Amino acid sequence: MMNKIRRLLGYVWIALGLFAGYYLIVYHTIPKLKSGSVEDIIPGIIYLLILTPVITGGLCLFGYFAIKGEYDYFKDDLTN
């Protein structure tokens, strides 16, 4: 039962990763890049080139592994 829940939550992680990337670009990066001041352009570039791929890629990769069953629990894996 828990393995099925983990696999279903994989889709949630992927959706959350895509939403986080969209939110970061649309609501934080684009306004900072459009402002034109140097104090805003530097964080906008950091958001776009560093934070967005790390956050989106990490959450989507975690969801992908959950869907593939990498986090499944099997009784045979116990070493007692």
pLDDT, one tens digit per residue, over 12-60 is 999 999 999 999 999 999 999 999 899 999 999 999 999 999 999 999 9
The pLDDT value given to residue 50: 96
pLDDT higher than threshold 60 for residue 80: no
pLDDT of 75: 62
The answer to whether the beta carbons of residues 17 and 55 sit under 8 Å apart is: yes
Whole-angstrom CA distances from 77 to 72, 73, 80 are: 10, 8, 10
Q: How confident is the model at residue 77 (pLDDT cuts 50, 70, 90)?
A: low
Rg of the chain over CA atoms, in angstroms? 18
Q: Is the pLDDT of residue 72 over 70?
A: yes
